[in-house]
Amino acid sequence: MTHPSFDDSPLPSTRWLRALWLRCKTLWPLKLVGNTVATIGFFPLYFWIMKNAGQAWVLPLTAFDRLIAFWPAVLPIYLSLWGYIALPVLLAKDRRELWSFSFGCAAMTALALVVFWFMPTAIPNFTIDATPGTSLHFLKTVDSAGNAFPSLHVSFSVFACIVLARQLRDAGAPAWLRLFNVAWAVAIVYSTMAVRQHVLIDVLGGLVLGLALGFVSRERSAAAPPVGARAV
């Protein structure tokens, strides 16, 4: 008598969820500590350079900048970068992928800080309503108009988007989730101008920097040997 066999493997429609969950569990203590230390360690150096780099050159406005309306409601999207950029860390499937993303972020930061120091820039002094006590007022008080070009907010968003796109594709994530990834990155880039933290020139600088490191990361990933059984 033949007994029916049961397949415990996940259904194709949910296999991508399992793949993402396995990525999340891999090296999670290292990911948690590393991401926290890197994020906290970034700000003292960033603000020290902003304070000590010398007289900043005020960037000119373009016609495109004048088309972007001031929209304080998108401030949460602007601030969501710090959650968004943690996702490629969380979804790294092994040490190689984790180090590759970390190296890209470190390289972008180092390049931008060098530019901030030797060519300090600032955005124009926009007249906006930042009511004391609000999140926008806090942002404008703490993160002033300096360290504008290139926009690290934009470069981090673009680089994270490229890496996330590759991770979601490898995990077999559905098209809607991959589209959401791109939409989130685009929304963050837009928000940098809508809350008057950046203008077009430094957005373009951040875009170039993020794309360049994304390309390097892709090339490093393609050249690396297969991880085989070490994956997740």
Res 131: pLDDT? 55
The pLDDT tens digits of the residues spanning 95-108 come to: 999 999 999 999 99
Task: Please answer whether residues 143 and 82 qualify as being in contact, where contact means their C-beta atoms are separated by less than 8 angstroms.
Answer: no
Distance (Å) of CA 88 to CA 70, 97, 160, 222, 224: 30, 9, 6, 17, 18
Task: Please answer whether residues 91 and 20 qualify as being in contact, where contact means their C-beta atoms are separated by less than 8 angstroms.
Answer: yes
Res 219: pLDDT? 62
Helix/strand/coil for 146: strand
Alpha-carbon torsion angle 94, 99, 102, 108, nearest 10: -130
The pLDDT tens digits of the residues spanning 161-196 come to: 999 999 999 999 999 999 999 999 999 999 999 988
In whole angstroms, give the CA distance from residue 127 to residue 121: 18
Percent of the chain with pLDDT over 70: 80
Distance (Å) of CA 147 to CA 55, 70, 116, 135, 187: 11, 20, 5, 20, 21
Res 22: pLDDT? 94
Overall size of the chain counted in residues:
232
The pLDDT tens digits of the residues spanning 110-163 come to: 999 999 999 998 888 776 655 555 555 555 555 556 678 999 999 999 999 999
180-215: burial string, b at 16+ Cβ within 10 Å, e else: ebeebbebbbbbbbbbbbbbbbbbbbbbebbebbbe
